[in-house]
Structures are given as C-alpha cells and as structure tokens.
Structure 1
Amino acid sequence: MRASLATGANFWNGGDLYGTRERNSLHLLKEYFTKYPEDAKKVVLSIKSGFSPETMRMDCSPDNLRRSVDECLRILDGKKTLDIFQCARVDPNIPIEESVKALGELVKEGKIKGVGLSETKAETIRRAHKVHPIAAVEVELSLWATDILRNGIAATCAELGIPIVAYSPLARGALTGLIRSSADIPEGDVRKHLPKLQEDVIATNMKITHEVEKLAEKKGVTKPQLAIGWVRTLSGRNGMPIIIPIPGATTEERVLENGKEVDLADEEMDEIEKILKENEIQGARHSGPVAALSEY
C-alpha cells in the first residue's frame, strides 16, 4: 500500500465485501492509517458496501445505507474519512433516487464526503446525478472489456463531468500473462465462473493479449504497463471523461510495475483499436445474479 502511494496512485478502493465481516479491507485500511497517519490526507478513499449483513444481498434502502456507513466508520475508527461511498451494485428493489438521496443526507451530516455509483447504466447515472452530484462511477474497463465505450456510460460521464474509476484494467489477470488458459485459474477462484475465461472461448480472447504482448515488447514495457497505459491514455481523449484505473496487486513488485506511467501515441492507440476490432471478445463479463445486477 505504501509502495502504491509512492508511485502517485492515491485513489484507493475497498469495501466490506472484500473479506468477511470480521476481517475485510476496511480493517486493513484502519491498520495502515494507524501505522501511517500522515498518509490519510494523501489518499482518496472510495468504499463499496450496501449489502445486507444477514442475506449478503444488495439492500440500498436508506436505513441499511446508514447502517452500512456507520459500520464502515466504526471499523476505520477515525483513522480515515470516507471520501466516496457507493453501493456495490444498484438495488433493483429501491429507486436509485431514494438511495442517492439517503447518501446525500449523509454527506450533509459529514459522515461521507461524496456519493459514487458502481456498475450501472447510463440512464441510471443521469437519474442519480439529478438528485445529488455523483463524485465517480466505477465500472469495468480494459482491453478485454470495452462495453462502456459503446453503451453510453463513458459519454454520459463525460457530459456530466463525472470521472470513471476503471476496475480490472488487467482483465482479471488475462492481460498479465498469469492466465493463458482456464487451467491456470486455481480451484475455488471466482474467475473460474467468468464467461470470458471459459475453456471454449479463452483461446480466442487471448489473441488480444498476444497482440498486446507484441506491442509491449516493441515499446519496451510490460503487458500490464501497456494495458494500464491504454486506459490512462483514453482519459480525456476525444471527448472521453477522466478515467482512473485501479489495478489490483498483492506484492510491492507488481504495484511498482503497474504504477509506471506509460503514455501511448495516437498511432499506438489506433493500432490497438484495430486489434480490438479484429479480435472481438467472446463471453459476458459476469454470470448469474451478478450479471443481472449490472443491468440497472
């Protein structure tokens, strides 16, 4: 985490869904800011929650959002503020206006500083933004997941001046070289169930990774650096909104690799666009109930 901040990566993303109720990313954040209190003001902390602790299903009702925020604050124990709070998914049972209004009240009370959205449609972003300014929209974006460039999400965020937080910019490991076939995914790993990584399509999808590897070698950078560089270069380009990639990493070495800024020239971006057009990704981003929640 300290290495991340040293590279200038100060937008940190967490949530009580990353781990158990007894031990999740919020506990880790509390420990970090207890050890390095001087870093608290350097970091923009975005937290996802909004689950019911009993059912682990989305519950973005005003009462549960208040409970959720209070629980996050309890765990952080004053060591760090909640700069952005967002529901991990849109609750199909609660109008987005009602959820955002409730979070707006928590902004007024000083419990959170901003309201974010995660995995939602362009129309929902507009509805939410009318109720309270949206600080950021978190969505998947990578060379393996370019949906937001076509479904109106990027265009809507650009129009409204809302930054996009791009999660999984390394396609859940498929753009790193660690995953080349479905056999490379450990048993019990959630990626085992992702449609894009299934045995019948992964070889086709890996064609993009192979082409990226060639470009990276030519440029003298690694595949992850080029993949993240593509996301960064999209930011503010040709009417695009500001885009903040948030690659995950578990070692200092990977953090430092991901943190190296790589800018791509127009010709390189054009070459990548050509590769994407010639190698259409097969398979959906999610499966099961999670896939359905991304439709709201």
Structure 2
Amino acid sequence: MEKRAIGGQGLTTSALGLGCMGMTGSYGPVDDAESTATIHRAIDLGVNMFDTADVYGPFTNERLLGRALAGRRDKVIVATKFGGAEMDDAGTVTGGANGRPEYVRASVERSLRNLNTDRIDLYYQHRVDPKVPVEETFGALGELVAAGKVRYLGISEARSGTIRRAHAAAPLSAVESEYSLFSRDVESNGVLETVRELGIGFVGYAPLGRGFLTGAVRSASALGPTDLRRIFPRFEEENLEANLALLRRIEKIAADLGVGGGRLALAWVLAQGEDIVPIPGTRRRTHLTENVEAATAPLDADTLAALAEAVSGGEIAGARTSPQDAGIER
C-alpha cells in the first residue's frame, strides 16, 4: 500500500489506517476473535496504523489491540489518545476532558500497560481541556517524547488557534478530526488550512460517516439499543431521512462506476491530499478488504467534480457530534 508522510517530524504511515473503536462496542456486538483476525489481515494487506484510545471501553480497546499485536508490534504504528474524559485506574469516569500535566503522565503509563508496549508511536490529546492552557499539556507531552515513551504527538478536534499553540509548545505530527463527504467542517473552519501551513498531517476519522455512507443505516429504528449512533443528531429519524436523499446521489455515482458507495466515499477522502490519512473503522475482514480496495482506486477529475456537486456540506441535516461530547472546540 502507498505510504504517506504525516507531519514533518518523520512519521510515515500507510495511506489508510484502521480505527479500532468499534471492536469493543459502540456499534454493536463484540467479537474479539474476528476483531483480532481483522487486525492481522490489515497488517497483511499493508495497513500499518492502528487507532485506539484509553476511553474506548474504557481500556478494553487498548488491551485488545495490545494482545492482537503480540509478535507484530514492530511492524505497526500504534496511535492512542488520552484526556477525552478523566478516569481512574478502574475505568470509572471521574470528570470531563483533562489536560493537566500530572494526568498526562499517569495516562501514558496506563496506556503503555494496556497496550503491552514500551512506547506509543502517536499520542493524541483526545479532547481539549478548557481549564488547562494547551501549552502546559504539550509541555508535558514534549517531556514524554524526550523520555522515549512517546514518538510523535497529535491533537484531536481542536480549533486552528489551539493547534498553533500546541505546535509551538511541542511539534505536532498529526491533527485528527472527523472528515468525510458527510462532514467537511475542517475545509471551512481553517483547520485544514492551518495544518498545511504548519506542515502537520491530518488524520480523518469516521471517513464513512459512521457507516452512513456505506448504506448500512437506512432507519434510526434499525440501530441497536446500545449503538453509539443513537446519540448523534444526524441519525435521528427526521434528519436521517433528509440525509438519505444525499446518500442516494452518491450511490447513483457509485453505481455508474460499478463500485459501492462506501468505497467511493473513502476514495474521495484519500483524493483530498497526500497529507491526509483516513482511518475507517471496521470489526470484520470483509469490510476491511473493501476499504483497502478504495486505497488503490484513484478517482478521476470528472468523478471528483460529480461528487462535489452531489453533496454540499451545508445540506447535511443534524449536528455531527452529540451535545454530550465536551472538549470538541467548535
């Protein structure tokens, strides 16, 4: 698979990463054996970046990834996150976003144990803590880089000004935010412009619109009772019905090309720049193969133009994040 440089600090990854969040819940039943097989198959197919976070589970996602990578650790880039919510060592949430230096130091040690590794390749501040200057958080993160516990740094869902301040305190390799045909905020809010000006890479999560762009979600009532998408306004029945009209436009273009809508949507993200690495999440090997095929199917100018005409970010019904998701800088 094609490799892409992420930022100017030396980090290089596969053009496509694998988001692991759904492997331990969030979108349906858990199957550790299939998730592990999916991780192994991803490595065989050339995917080398695996994205997790301490809050996924909590902790169970990092532990699953750590087990799956036993004997394969040196072949991959492990990306994890801290501070999305304050937690104790039992996994009990004790507060909101936490960027205090002492919490940073405790979190990295906990993630190293959970992942069964001696270093984290890419470590993100998961959500910005409005109570702590980002310079203090990234000062502590810079110390972890110097100590060899972390190789590269990132920040998730931050505004342009915060990205600049964090990067000045300790060089960032990556900014992670939601990005898809369904979520294009970063094109208009200055985030993409800022990371490109500063030479920072961009990692796009939910590039398939949390599964919406694959056509897998046609009705809110079809979502299981524990499905995380139930809390997102875009998946409320009225909004979902409006958004299906947009999906049908994408599916028409995909059908004319003889490919699936999800594959087309993922190829679109990959086409937005060689400094962008999407990290679609999947628990199943079949879906993984479909996603990897998108990485080898470049889109021509006519198809890109047709997609741009079919979907305008302003037409999407419903907010992309839940009201409970504190720490996203809007």
Give me the TM-score of the superposition, normalised by structure 1: 0.92
Q: Summarize the Cα distance change of 1:227–1:110 in structure 2 as closer, same or farther, 3 Å threshold.
A: same
In structure 2, what is the Cα distance between the partners aligned to 1:217 and 1:145? Answer: 22
1:26 equivalent to 2:62? Answer: yes
The aligned counterpart of 1:283 is 318
Q: Summarize the Cα distance change of 1:184–1:11 in structure 2 as closer, same or farther, 3 Å threshold.
A: same
1:86 equivalent to 2:124? Answer: yes
Q: CA deviation at 1:156?
A: 0.6
Residue of 145, 148, 152 corresponding to 2:186: 148
1:264 equivalent to 2:299? Answer: yes
In structure 1, what is the Cα distance between the partners aligned to 2:323 and 2:107? Answer: 25
- Mapping for residues 209-228 of structure 1, pairs under 5 Å: 209-228=247-266
The aligned counterpart of 1:243 is 276
Native 8 Å contact 2:123 2:153 kept in 1: yes
In structure 2, what is the Cα distance between the partners aligned to 1:56 and 1:189? Answer: 23
The aligned counterpart of 1:53 is 87
In structure 2, what is the Cα distance between the partners aligned to 1:6 and 1:204? Answer: 39
1:295 equivalent to 2:329? Answer: yes
The one-letter code sitting in structure 2 at the alignment partner of 1:69 is V
In structure 2, what is the Cα distance between the partners aligned to 1:44 and 1:288? Answer: 32
The one-letter code sitting in structure 2 at the alignment partner of 1:280 is E
Q: CA deviation at 1:30?
A: 1.8
In structure 1, what is the Cα distance between the partners aligned to 2:285 and 2:199? Answer: 33
Give me the TM-score of the superposition, normalised by structure 2: 0.82
In structure 2, what is the Cα distance between the partners aligned to 1:218 and 1:7? Answer: 27
Native 8 Å contact 1:205 1:279 kept in 2: no
In structure 2, what is the Cα distance between the partners aligned to 1:227 and 1:272? Answer: 9
Native 8 Å contact 1:182 1:202 kept in 2: yes
Native 8 Å contact 1:60 1:99 kept in 2: yes
In structure 2, what is the Cα distance between the partners aligned to 1:207 and 1:278? Answer: 13
- Mapping for residues 1-296 of structure 1, pairs under 5 Å: 1-21=39-59, 24-34=60-70, 37=71, 39-50=72-83, 51-54=85-88, 55-78=94-117, 81-236=119-274, 242-260=275-293, 261=295, 262-277=297-312, 280-290=315-325, 292-295=326-329
Q: CA deviation at 1:19?
A: 0.9
In structure 2, what is the Cα distance between the partners aligned to 1:206 and 1:8? Answer: 33
Q: CA deviation at 1:201?
A: 1.4
Unmatched tracts of structure 1, length 5 or more: 237-241
Native 8 Å contact 1:207 1:279 kept in 2: no
Q: CA deviation at 1:56?
A: 4.7
In structure 2, what is the Cα distance between the partners aligned to 1:56 and 1:147? Answer: 28
In structure 2, what is the Cα distance between the partners aligned to 1:217 and 1:16? Answer: 39
Q: Summarize the Cα distance change of 1:278–1:56 in structure 2 as closer, same or farther, 3 Å threshold.
A: closer
Native 8 Å contact 1:86 1:116 kept in 2: yes
Native 8 Å contact 2:87 2:95 kept in 1: yes
Q: Summarize the Cα distance change of 1:64–1:6 in structure 2 as closer, same or farther, 3 Å threshold.
A: same
The one-letter code sitting in structure 2 at the alignment partner of 1:243 is I
The one-letter code sitting in structure 1 at the alignment partner of 2:329 is E
Native 8 Å contact 2:220 2:235 kept in 1: yes
Deviations 1:185-237 (A, max 9, x none): 1112221111111112111111221111111122222111111100000114x
The one-letter code sitting in structure 2 at the alignment partner of 1:151 is N
Provide the secondary structure at the position in 1 that maps to 2:167.
Answer: helix
Q: Which has the higher contact order (CA 8 A, sep 6+)?
A: 2
List, as ranges, runs of 4+ consecutive aligned residues in structure 1 with deviation greater than 6 Å: none
Deviations 1:96-141 (A, max 9, x none): 1110111001100111111110011111111111111101011000
Native 8 Å contact 2:141 2:153 kept in 1: yes
In structure 2, what is the Cα distance between the partners aligned to 1:93 and 1:174? Answer: 35
In structure 2, what is the Cα distance between the partners aligned to 1:88 and 1:94? Answer: 14
The one-letter code sitting in structure 2 at the alignment partner of 1:198 is E
